[in-house]
Amino acid sequence: MKKNILKITLIGAIALMSTESFSTNSFSDNRIIVANNTKTETFKVFGNCGMCERTIESSLANIKGIEKADWNKETKMMKVIFDEKQISLDEIKQKIAEVGYDTDKFRATEKVYNNLPGCCQYDRPAKKKSHNSHNGHKH
């Protein structure tokens, strides 16, 4: 009898913890603050295929402060849940660029991009021109 009560209590506690965890970690298309310093951000990452998806997501695996990273190859959108006290959004985007994939803010080096498999070499966005060197005039 005591074992059954213990099992029921344990199952109830686990169910309660999973429900709370699910409600605080749900994704949204907008920037939201969920719990403590945890944020969800959505941004574009250029890529093509399932191999790109594995590389992009694994670039953020086991990084302190990142709870979840999910890249959608159809929409090219990355959703990341992270603790902003442990890692910044810019640091996340930089880590993705370091493995060969451009974001809105960071561009992969030519060398790293050129080392991607052929199926992963996406059409890159044009480089942004510097505002300081436009026709030799400063703005």
Average pLDDT across each block of 10 residues of the chain; the chain has 139 residues. List them in order.
50 46 44 69 97 97 96 97 96 98 96 96 78 47
3-state secondary structure the chain: CHHHHHHHHHHHHHHHHHHHHHHHCCCCCCCEECCCCEEEEEEEECCCCHHHHHHHHHCCCCCCCEEEEEEECCCCEEEEEEECCCCCHHHHHHHHHHCCCCECCCCCCHHHHHCCCHHHCCCCCCCCCCHHHHHHCCC
What pLDDT does residue 127 have? 76
**CATH level 2 (architecture), domain 25-124:** 2-Layer Sandwich (3.30)
What pLDDT does residue 36 have? 73
